[in-house]
Structure 1
Amino acid sequence: MISIVEYIVNLAIHLIEILGYWGVFLGMTLESACIPLPSEIIMPFAGFVVYEGKMSLIGITIVGALGNLFGSLIAYFIGFKGGRPFLEKYGKYIFITHKRLEMADNWFEKYGHEAVLISRVLPIMRTFISLPAGIAHMDLKKFITYTFLGSLPWCFVLGYIGYQLGPRWDLIRGYFHILDVIVIMGIIGVLFYLLYRHYLHNKK
């Protein structure tokens, strides 16, 4: 019997095989709109297609970031129009659990607009950070700018890994946890910097 994870992985692969750049865009849109379609599968496989000469690395990076932005805007406006009560009541029907919403809320309240930029390379958080940004009515221009800029390096790195692996791209599945640990360590470093800056500001 095929597992749920394997089904999601196969869905992401088929989207790109059939639709090309539009498949990358659609897959990244779904992930950023809180649908569990992992970018860690979408972008590396897109990188493999680049290896085959059917797409370009810059192309999949920009298209992936645009898909991330479009999906994030969907989540942003859900939070903006519906607010916290709406998400608490109906979020479970679109994969938004109370725990994930609470996590994203706390992150946004603690680090503000910077959270939207930094969270784009943070597992789980990158998918749900748009909701509290919408609830807080974050300035739309800043939200778009931070989301797009934060998505570009993530899309490029994952696509480049898939390109370098070539026909062995499937090996990346076994290293997802390592990639997440590296990213989390980077985020922790950024957090220490933000906390230190906050400490200096309060001291002044």
Structure 2
Amino acid sequence: MIEKILGVLSAFVISVISSMGYGGVVLLMAIESACIPLPSEIIMPFSGYLVWRGEMTLWGVAVAGAVGCVLGSLVAYYVGAWGGRPLAEKYGKYVLLSHRDLDLADRWFARHGDIIIFVGRLLPVIRTFIALPAGVSRMNLSRFVIYTFVGSLIWCYGLAWLGMTLGENWQGLRPYFHQFDFVIGGLLLLGLTAYVYRHVRR
């Protein structure tokens, strides 16, 4: 089932980038960063494959990907800033989210938001959703944009470089990233379990 979904997504990514070029990279990475799980692990390696074919440049696709990430992240940021906090305050108790937790998140983003965003943009799964809590905590917007761009540029360049290096075998990366997604998902599940246990015990 998962392989079929990835196959459909791959066909969609290939079609968009093949027809729109750099604009397609911007569009797809914006979708991925707006909390819509469209895998950058397909988008950027295919862009790197086109670099290998001489149809694009490595820095061109990396910058296009990073710009798309910023645009999509701004959408998620403002969703969190305008609607996330009021909803969290009103309904958070139903998912064990207290005002203390929200205040703690605010302090964390105020003190460590730069590194949280930067590192978050380098992690599968997390990178797709990291802008939402940043918006809820009203992280400084200019710093949010800067660190989103820098972290995303590194991520996009790395994936595009791998795609360029592998050439026609660029899709061989998919199984490895898929396994890494499971690792990140498992760690998030452990963290969620600990969070629920702590709140229930309290």
TM-score (ref. length: structure 1): 0.74
CA distance in 2, matches of 1:87, 1:55: 44
CA distance in 1, matches of 2:81, 2:120: 19
TM-score (ref. length: structure 2): 0.75
Contact 1:108–1:132 (CA under 8 A) maintained in structure 2: no
Aligned length: 169
1:39-54 correspondence runs (5 A): 39-54=40-55
Query: Does 1:122 pair with 2:159?
Result: no
Contact 2:125–2:181 (CA under 8 A) maintained in structure 1: no
CA distance in 2, matches of 1:22, 1:155: 15
Contact 1:163–1:169 (CA under 8 A) maintained in structure 2: yes
Compare relative contact order (CA 8 Å, sep 6+) and give the higher one, 1 or 2: 2
Where do 5+ consecutive residues of structure 2 fail to align?
96-101, 185-202
- Counterpart of 1:82 in structure 2 is 83
CA distance in 1, matches of 2:105, 2:62: 26
Report the CA distance between 1:14 and its aligned residue.
Answer: 1.2
User: CA 1:46/1:108 → structure 2, altered by over 3 Å: closer, same or farther?
Assistant: farther
Report the CA distance between 1:12 and its aligned residue.
Answer: 1.4
User: CA 1:119/1:70 → structure 2, altered by over 3 Å: closer, same or farther?
Assistant: same
Report the CA distance between 1:179 and its aligned residue.
Answer: 5.9
CA distance in 2, matches of 1:45, 1:5: 13
CA distance in 2, matches of 1:87, 1:10: 37
Contact 2:48–2:58 (CA under 8 A) maintained in structure 1: yes
Report the CA distance between 1:3 and its aligned residue.
Answer: 2.3
- Counterpart of 1:55 in structure 2 is 56
- Counterpart of 1:145 in structure 2 is 146
Report the CA distance between 1:6 and its aligned residue.
Answer: 1.9
Report the CA distance between 1:180 and its aligned residue.
Answer: 5.8
Query: Does 1:162 pair with 2:167?
Result: no
CA displacement 1:1-39 (0-9 Å, x = unmatched): 982232122211211111110111011000000111110
Share of identical aligned residues, percent?
47
Query: Does 1:33 pair with 2:34?
Result: yes
Contact 2:44–2:160 (CA under 8 A) maintained in structure 1: yes
- Counterpart of 1:198 in structure 2 is none
CA displacement 1:101-136 (0-9 Å, x = unmatched): xxxx89886563021111001111111111111111
- Counterpart of 2:195 in structure 1 is none
- Counterpart of 2:14 in structure 1 is 13
CA distance in 2, matches of 1:88, 1:10: 41
CA distance in 2, matches of 1:125, 1:47: 23
User: CA 1:87/1:126 → structure 2, altered by over 3 Å: closer, same or farther?
Assistant: farther
* SS in structure 2 at match of 1:121: coil
Report the CA distance between 1:87 and its aligned residue.
Answer: 7.4
CA distance in 2, matches of 1:77, 1:153: 24
- Counterpart of 1:72 in structure 2 is 73
Report the CA distance between 1:181 and its aligned residue.
Answer: 8.9
Contact 2:33–2:76 (CA under 8 A) maintained in structure 1: yes
CA distance in 2, matches of 1:69, 1:125: 15
